[in-house]
């Protein structure tokens, strides 16, 4: 009980679903909240828009960190701009996992990628098939072996001095 004799339980809370704007089943309301946080859907009623915006930014930073684990060269090539560039390209896209989120970004930035980031994308595309929507599927063994040999030959040539190293980006 509050000092005024009111119950704490009946006090309205931010984000509480039993307000005047709440409608639908709990599952529908939860789906609306998730869609608003990660897929660009409108804010559901009963939530503070400022707090939702903070949560959206935090989730985008978390996704960017996960994608950076799968695409370290791409992330390093963008440096401190990584999180911002990632957020701009993914603000209304549903999460599909760090590997696929990073793949989408690498393809979107393909014309502007550094030489090393472009090589990272080429190596992935040589080993995996990805249509941008479905799951990744491995390419045939022959194509994967050829890609690995080409990459190993490039690296060996740089180490042995028979091929010039790429200039730093």
Residue 158 in this model has a pLDDT that exceeds 50 = yes
Give the model's confidence band at 156: pLDDT under 50 very low, under 70 low, under 90 confident, else very high: low
Least confident of 3-7, 54-58, 74-78: 3-7
- Three-state secondary structure call for residue 80: helix
Give the model's confidence band at 135: pLDDT under 50 very low, under 70 low, under 90 confident, else very high: confident
pTM above 0.85, yes or no: no
Residue 12 in this model has a pLDDT that exceeds 50 = no
Residue-averaged pLDDT of the chain: 82
Cβ distance 124 to 78 under 8 Å?
no
Long-range contacts of 88-92 (CB under 8 A, 24+ apart): 90/60, 90/63, 90/64, 91/40, 91/56, 91/60, 92/39, 92/40
pLDDT of residue 40: 87
Residue 91 in this model has a pLDDT that exceeds 80 = yes
Find, among 140, 110, 111, 142, the residue nearest to 128 by Cα: 140
d(CA 116, CA 104): 17
* pLDDT one-digit tens code per residue, 63-82: 999 999 999 999 999 999 99
Structure tokens belonging to residue 27: 């599952």
Cβ distance 63 to 101 under 8 Å?
yes
* pLDDT one-digit tens code per residue, 22-44: 567 899 999 999 999 988 899 99
Find, among 9, 39, 56, the residue nearest to 47 by Cα: 56
């Amino acid at each position: 009980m509050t000092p005024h004799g009111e119950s704490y339980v009946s006090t309205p809370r931010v984000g509480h679903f039993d307000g005047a704007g709440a409608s639908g089943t709990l599952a529908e309301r939860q789906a609306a909240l998730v869609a608003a946080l990660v897929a660009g859907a409108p804010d559901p009623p009963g939530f503070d828009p400022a707090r939702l915006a903070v949560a959206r930014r935090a989730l985008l930073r978390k996704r960017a960190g996960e994608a950076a684990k799968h695409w370290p060269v791409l992330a390093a090539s963008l440096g401190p701009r990584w999180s911002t560039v990632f957020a701009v390209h993914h603000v209304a896209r549903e999460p599909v996992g760090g590997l696929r989120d990073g793949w989408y970004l690498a393809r979107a930035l393909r014309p502007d990628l550094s030489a090393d980031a472009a090589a990272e994308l080429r190596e992935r595309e040589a080993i995996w098939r990805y249509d941008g929507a479905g799951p990744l599927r491995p390419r045939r063994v022959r194509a994967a072996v050829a890609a690995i040999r080409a990459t190993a030959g490039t690296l060996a040539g740089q180490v042995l001095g028979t091929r010039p190293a790429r200039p730093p980006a």
